[in-house]
Each structure stands twice: as C-alpha cells, then as structure tokens.
Amino acid sequence: MSDVPKTHPRYLSLTLRDKIVAGVEQGITSIHGLMAHGRGEAFDYLIGETTQPFAIEAIHAAAAMLCLAEHPVISVNGNVAALAPEALIELGQVLNAPLEVNIFHTETGREQKIRAYLLKHGASDVLMPTTEARLSFIDSNRKFVHPDGIFKADVVFVPLEDGDRCEALRKMGKAVVTVDLNPMSRTAKQASITIVDNVVRALPLLCDEIRNFNDSTAQDTLKKYSNAAVLQKALQHISRSGNGN
C-alpha cells in the first residue's frame, strides 16, 4: 500500500485505489477494472462519498428480497473481491448463500486466483463457472455458471455488474440486486433493486439489515419499493450537488 497519510482529505478514496491496484498486481482484478473503478469514483464524488437516503431505501428492500429468496447467490468479480472480500464473505454467511466467481476478462487463471483469495480471507466454499450450465441471452465468458449457483438462483446479488449480464439474468426470470454508483448505467436501470452507493459502504449496511430482518414487513417493503423512483432520487441528488446545494 502507498503511504497516504490519514489526514489527507481524500484518504479513504486513495485507500480504495490502493486496494484496486493491489488487486491488479495480485492478478485478481483485471486491468480493465481500473477504468470501472475510476468511473465509480467520479459518481461517488458526485453523491458526496457517503451513503445517501436513496441507498438506505434500496438496502432495506434488498435485504427483504434476499431474505425472502429461495436460492440467493452472490456473484463475485475482480473489483469487488479486491475491495471488500471480508464483507462479501460475511454477506454469504448471514444469508447462507454461496459466493460464485463470474468475470468478463478471464486472463491468466484469474478466476482461480479470486477463489483462492476469498478462501484465504475465510470463505468456506466458492463456486466456479462450469461448462455444464450456461446463461441464455449472453455470448461472453460470463455465460458459464455453476449449476447449483447462479444457474439455479432466483435472486442474484451482483455488485458492480455489467449491463449485458444483468439484462440476461432478468430475461431468464431472475431477480437482480446490484450495487452501482452510476444511477444511469444499464445495470442500474435493469436491476430489480439498485443500491447507488460505494460497495465498501453498502455491504456492511446490507449485512446489518439482513441480521435485523423482519419477516412480517418484508413483503410490504417489496410491494412499495420502486427502483425507478430510487434512481430518480439519486439523479436529483446529483443534480442538486452540482448546484452547490
């Protein structure tokens, strides 16, 4: 890690950069992931680098959807593995849901490296892509999935997702919960629930919500939830911050 002093005004942001760079150096994160991270940083700047009420609303609904799911699965890519391995593993534990590696760029054994990294951080098991099960409506490497994981899932948690696969999962009738700082991305628009927040802030909050899950109000929460309305609130927030408010 670089020597960023804690007093630096951008300390947290720079720490996350260090984690992504370390991820690339360890072969966990794709070099393309640096660009995805940069895009996320820009949107994080615009939302104020804190969890906003529209994210809290989405986290509340996401907890309900994931807890009511019959077979929830957590999809892991190279960025989220580098940024928040412990929180991902904790989410799997509180939900009793498997983690499954699913990435776009499969250079030099990256899938295996992500798996090993998660196991090293305490994951009990990590599902891997197979050729036995494939997603429809998608041509990239991300179509290869595990038959007992994403293939079977009714709800898939896919932070920092690519729009193509989000669309394919939805077309296959699966519900998608995502975390995406860009409320305008195709993923954000197509997901069932979009948490517009940094994944490092959102994951611990989501774990807390799941721990405090209340079965009697969950259906009602989901009935009232509108992802389009939440994305609209995020966009309004961004445009207000542009006006200095």
Q: Does residue 39 interact with ligand ATP by CB under 6 A?
A: yes
185 in contact with ligand ATP (CB under 6 A) = yes
**Minimum distance between the CB of residue 218 and ligand ATP, rounded to whole angstroms?**
25
Please say which residue, 49 or 148, places its beta carbon nearer to ligand ATP. 49
CA angle 132, 138, 144 (to 5 degrees): 25
Number of residues that bind ligand ATP (CB under 6 A): 19
Contact 147, 132 (CB under 8 A): yes
- Stretch of 46-54, 122-130, 158-166, 214-222 contacting ligand ATP, by CB under 6 A: 158-166
Task: Kindly tell me the burial class for residue 52, based on how many C-beta atoms sit within 10 Å of its own C-beta (0-12, 13-18, 19 or more).
Answer: middle
- For residues 100 and 88, what is the distance between their CA atoms, to the nearest angstrom? 11
Q: Between residues 156 and 181, which has the closer beta carbon with respect to ligand ATP?
A: 181
Encoded tokens for 146: 């595990």
Alpha carbon separation from 4 to 8, 9, 20, 105, 239 (Å, rounded): 7, 10, 15, 30, 31
* Residue 75 is a binding residue for ligand ATP (CB under 6 A): no
Q: Is 167 among the residues that bind ligand ATP (CB under 6 A)?
A: no
Binding site for ligand ATP (CB under 6 A): 36-37, 39-40, 43, 79, 83, 160, 162-163, 179-182, 185-187, 198-199
